[in-house]
Amino acid sequence: MTSLRNVAAIVEKEWRHYFGSPIAYVSLTVWALLFGIFFYFAFSFFLRESMMAAQQMEFGGGPKMSLNELLIRPVMHNMAVVALFLAPMLTMRLFAEEKRQGTIELLATAPLTDLQIVLGKFLAAAGLYGLMILAGLVDLALIWHYASTPPEWKPVLTGALALLLFGSCFLALGVFVSTLTRNQIVAGILSFCLFLGVWTLGWADDPGAGPVMKAIAYLGVTTHMEDMVKGVVDLKDVVFYLSFIAFGLFLAHQSVQSQRWRA
């Protein structure tokens, strides 16, 4: 009970900071804006394609057009790239700033465990990120309003879940990187490089790849998104993401503790 309350106190404090400064508004706006732009482009593309398909109808019918496949999925993929850029901004100051201000000592001398502090900070960032995803989904609601045959909603939901899990991996790693320095810019840049590295692991995924490359590709965070964005929630992907997050938080926790021993 107390531990839950402690975590909640940290989350609340971080949210006060996010919303008491431009951070939350800027990231929400940027996310919603980019979501809108990508949605617009994907939508125009879809419109062109469906027009062409309609013309082909006269010659005996074109391919079947799916809103999920041609509109929603590309947008989700693009937003994953945006998450790559925005995640460092959400996590870089979490520990670095506490260290620079000396307030880490306040937290460290309060009856809180290091794990509660790490969890609180991660959940605060993940919460804001979740809110960003929701803000993006508002755009998709338009389709339901206007489309004659509405798309399936389940893949949209699993796609959002994929985005959340995928981004949370970055956030967990970002929390860890933030514990390493007292300079938030350094934390931001390092996080971004690390995220990019983890991202590119997925590029090793090639049909002709050998077992080693396959294993590397498996560690890439993007590879596990594919099925989920299509609407298939495979337990192994969820477990992968959750263990990735747990690993990031474990590193952060170890880092905070070891600094106490050395500090």
Partner 1 sequence: MIEVENLTKRYGRTTAVDGISFRVRKGEILGFLGPNGAGKTTTMRILTGYLPPTEGTARVAGYDVFEAPIEVKKRVGYIPETPPLYPDMEVDEFLDFCAKIKGIPGPSRKGKIDEAVDKTRVGDVRGRLIGRLSKGYRQRVGLAQAILNNPDVLILDEPTAGLDPKQIIETRELIKGLGGDHTIVLSTHILPEVSMTCGRVVIINKGKVVAEDTPENLTRRLRGAGALRVDVRGEATAAAEAVRSVPGVVSARPRPESAGVTTLEVEAEPGRDVRPDIARAVVSRGLDLLALHQVGMSLEEIFLHLTTTDAARAEAPPAAPRSEEVTA
Residues that bind partner 1 (CB under 8 A): 2, 5-6, 9-10, 12-13, 16-17, 20-21, 101-113, 260-263
Of residues 22 and 197, the one with the C-beta less far from partner 1: 22
* Shortest Å, Cβ 107 to partner 1: 7
Nearer to partner 1, 78 or 259 (CB): 259
Nearer to partner 1, 32 or 108 (CB): 108
Q: What string of DSSP letters covers 37-73? A: HHHHHHHHHHHHHHHHHHHHHTTT------HIIIIIH
Q: Which is nearer to partner 1, 63 or 102 (CB)?
A: 102
Is residue 78 helix, strand or coil?
A: helix
Nearer to partner 1, 10 or 190 (CB): 10
CB of 138 to partner 1, least distance (A): 29
Q: How far is the CB of 21 from partner 1 (least distance, A)?
A: 7
Measured CA angle at 151 (ends 157, 45), to 5 deg:
105
Give least dist CB 10 to partner 1, A.
7
Tell me how crowded residue 45 is: count the other CB atoms within 10 A of its CB.
Answer: 13
Residues 6+ apart with CB under 8 A from 230: 69, 73, 155, 158
Q: How many CA atoms lie within 13 A of 243 on its CB side?
A: 9
Dihedral angle at the C-alpha atoms of 86, 161, 44, 147, nearest 10 degrees? Answer: -140
The CA–CA distances, whole Å, from 227 to 110, 220, 245 equal 44, 14, 19
Quick one: 114 or 237, whose CB is closer to partner 1?
114
Least CB distance from residue 102 to partner 1, whole Å?
5
Report in angstroms how near the CB of residue 14 gets to partner 1 at its nearest: 10
Q: In the chain, how many H helices and how many E strands?
A: 12, 0
Residue 80: what are its φ and ψ, rounded to 5°? -60, -35
**Closest approach of partner 1 to the CB of residue 86, in Å:** 21
Nearer to partner 1, 97 or 227 (CB): 97
